[in-house]
Amino acid sequence: MPKNYAAAALLGAALLVAGCGANPEEAEGALSSQQPAGESAAAQTKDQALYDRLPEKVKTAGKLISVNNGSFPPYEIAGADGRSLTGAAADMSDALGQLLGVKIEHVTVDGLPSSLTGIASGRYDFAIGPVGDFPDRQKANDFVDWVKEYVVFAVPKGNPDKIGSVADTCGLKISVMAGGSAEKVIKGQSDTCAKAGKPKITVQSYKDQPTSVLAVSSGRADAFFSSQAPLTYFVSQAGGKLELAGKGQANGFDDLYQGAVVGKDSPLRDVLKDGMQKLIDNGTYAKIMDKWGTTDNKLDQAGVNLAKS
């Protein structure tokens, strides 16, 4: 992928406008027109049985509205119009829409709370995600999990602070996504450091991934603690200035799953699960995941609310 694509993605997502969440117009050309090389997924044939299970309002409208946060590459990369989307999630939703026989439209909002509130109110039908599945979130939502994830660190090349796991972060400046699970874990680790008589962690919370990465590349933070898939993407586009650290470690987490989000007990839940499973079974899912460099994040079976802790 050309480096100017990554620069536009970083700039666009870092300058998200409150309440809108769209990338600036100058970034739009690069974001929407360039994609990584890889085998394109074949067009899907409408599955009449799945279509028949859709809610009547969806069949009447002929579409589903999927909400996204716009700054979660390589899954979600939003366009300047607030409705276009590229990335693995966009390709997956295109295939899913063809399979279900309806159009899936994308709306970008500012932050996960806005997405979840909009789904709960019925303003949006679902979020293709992938959004982190956690038991506390399952109280108000259901997750159709299609990604297995890991949490690691993006650090300056050479890993100068020798971070091998979350246990090595005492006294460091760590950037995280505000309100996310990584923020909770790193704050807990800071308390653990203090109890052990070691310096606490300086936790820097940002609202999007690109700003968090820029904190590391500019030297304001020692590391960014987040999901491995987007960090792999950012590191690959950093011109050799960053690398991953803490791979292969639990880093304060049990098994992590991410997926599409619907309202609690929504009739869409099982339709989406069965549709996603069909994409897994026919090879489309693997082609999309491989194309966007998320091979290690694939699941063999789509599932509902897989997170147990």
Final residue in a domain of this structure, among 245, 270, 285: 245
The CA distance from 272 to 250, in Å, is 30
- How many angstroms separate the CA atoms of 80 and 21, rounded? 9
Q: SS3 of 122, please?
A: coil
Per the CB < 8 A criterion, the answer to whether 152 and 247 are in contact is yes
* Pair (267, 166) in one structural domain: no
Same domain, 158 and 136: no
Clarify whether residues 130 and 19 are in a common domain: yes
> Shortest CA distance to 74 belongs to which of 157, 152, 6?
6
Structural contact between residues 46 and 68, judged by C-beta atoms closer than 8 angstroms: no
**Same-domain check for residues 141 and 280:** yes
Instruction: Work out the number of other CB atoms within 10 angstroms of the CB of residue 175.
Output: 28
Same domain, 267 and 226: no
Q: Are residues 64 and 210 in the same domain?
A: no
Do both 89 and 204 map to the same domain? no
Residues 244 and 234: beta-carbon distance below 8 Å: no
- pTM confidence score: 0.77
Question: Which of 208, 223, 245 lies at the terminal end of a domain, its last residue?
Answer: 245
Q: What is the DSSP letter of 46?
A: P
CB 243 within 8 A of CB 159: yes
Q: Token pair of 36, please?
A: 């990584």
- Cα first-last separation, the chain: 36
φ and ψ of 150, to 5 deg: -135, 155
**What is the distance between the alpha carbons of residues 50 and 55, in angstroms, rounded to a whole number?**
11
Cis peptide before 55 (omega within 30 of 0): no
Q: Are residues 218 and 183 in the same domain?
A: yes
pLDDT at 82: 67
Cα angle 7-9-13, degrees, rounded to a multiple of 5: 125
3-state helix, strand, coil in the chain (%, to 5): 40, 25, 40
Residues near 51 by Cβ (< 8 Å), separated by ≥ 6? 59, 100, 101, 102
In this structure, are residues 243 and 235 in contact, taking their beta carbons and an 8 Å threshold?
yes
Domain residues for the domain of 264 are 3-148+257-304
Write out the chain's pLDDT in tens, 309 residues: 433 333 333 333 332 222 223 332 222 232 333 567 666 677 999 999 999 999 999 999 999 999 998 778 899 887 777 678 899 999 999 999 999 999 999 999 887 888 998 998 999 999 999 999 999 999 999 999 999 999 999 999 999 999 999 999 999 999 999 988 899 999 999 999 999 999 999 999 998 888 999 999 999 999 999 999 989 989 998 999 999 999 989 999 988 999 999 999 999 999 999 999 999 999 999 999 999 999 989 999 999 999 987
Burial of 2 (0-12, 13-18, 19+ CB in 10 A): exposed
pLDDT, residue 35, reads: 67
Same domain, 181 and 225: yes
Sign of the C-alpha dihedral computed for residues 250, 269, 43 and 283 taken in this order: positive
Return d(Cα 191, Cα 290) in angstroms, integer: 39
CATH at residue 238: 3.40.190.10
Q: How far is CA 1 from the centre of its chain?
A: 19
In a domain, 252, yes or no: no
State whether 120 and 157 are in the same domain.
Answer: no
Q: Could you tell me if 159 and 229 lie in one domain?
A: yes
